[in-house]
Amino acid sequence: MTSPRVAYLNARLLDPASGLDTHGALLIEDGKIVDLGADLFKDGAPSVSKVVDCEGLCLAPGLVDGRVQLREPGEEHKETIETASRAAAAGGVTTMVALPNTTPVIDDVSVVEFMHRHAKEAGAVKVRCYGSVTRGTKGEQLTEMGLLAEAGAVAFTDGTRAVANTMVMRRALSYARGFGLMIAQHPEDPQLANGGVMNEGEIASRLGLGGIPAEAEIIMVERDLRLAELTGGRYHAAHISTRGAIDALRRAKAKGLDVSCDTAPHYFALNESAVGDYRTFAKVSPPLRSEDDRKAVVEGLADGTIDMIASDHTPSDQDSKRLPFSQAEYGVVGLETLLTLTLEPFHNGALTLLEALAKVTANPARVLRLDAGQLKRGAPADLVLFNPNTPWRIEEDDFHSKSKNTPFDSRPVQGRVIETIVNGRSIFRMKTA
Q: Residue 412 phi/psi, 5° resolution?
A: -75, 135
Q: What is the CA radius of gyration of the chain?
A: 21
Q: CB 32: neighbour CB atoms within 10 A?
A: 15
Task: Assign 92 to helix, strand or coil.
Answer: coil
CATH topology of domain 62-368: TIM Barrel (3.20.20)
Q: How far apart are CA 350 and CA 360, in angstroms?
A: 16
Q: CB 64: neighbour CB atoms within 10 A?
A: 28
Catalytic residue, chosen from 312, 317, 382, 409, is: 312
In this structure, the strands spanning 32-37 and 93-98 are unpaired
293 catalytically annotated: no
Query: What residues pair up with 142 in beta bridges, in sequence order?
Result: 134
Spatial strand order in the sheet of 259-263: 63-68, 93-98, 126-131, 153-157, 182-185, 234-237, 259-263, 308-309
Q: 322: which residues sit within 8 A by CB, 6+ positions away?
A: 280, 328
Q: How far apart are CA 11 and CA 30, in angstroms?
A: 21
Q: 42: which residues sit within 8 A by CB, 6+ positions away?
A: none
**Which pLDDT value is given to residue 49?**
82
**Which pLDDT value is given to residue 46?**
73
**Which pLDDT value is given to residue 1?**
40
**Which pLDDT value is given to residue 433?**
54
Q: How far apart are CA 22 and CA 125, in angstroms?
A: 27
**Which pLDDT value is given to residue 123?**
67
Q: For each successive 10 residues of the chain (433 residues), what is the average pLDDT?
A: 79 98 96 94 80 96 97 93 95 97 95 89 88 97 96 97 98 97 97 96 97 98 98 98 98 98 98 96 97 98 98 95 95 97 98 98 98 96 97 95 95 97 94 68
Q: Residue 243 phi/psi, 5° resolution?
A: -60, -45
Q: How far apart are CA 237 and CA 306, in angstroms?
A: 10
Q: How far apart are CA 117 and CA 426, in angstroms?
A: 21
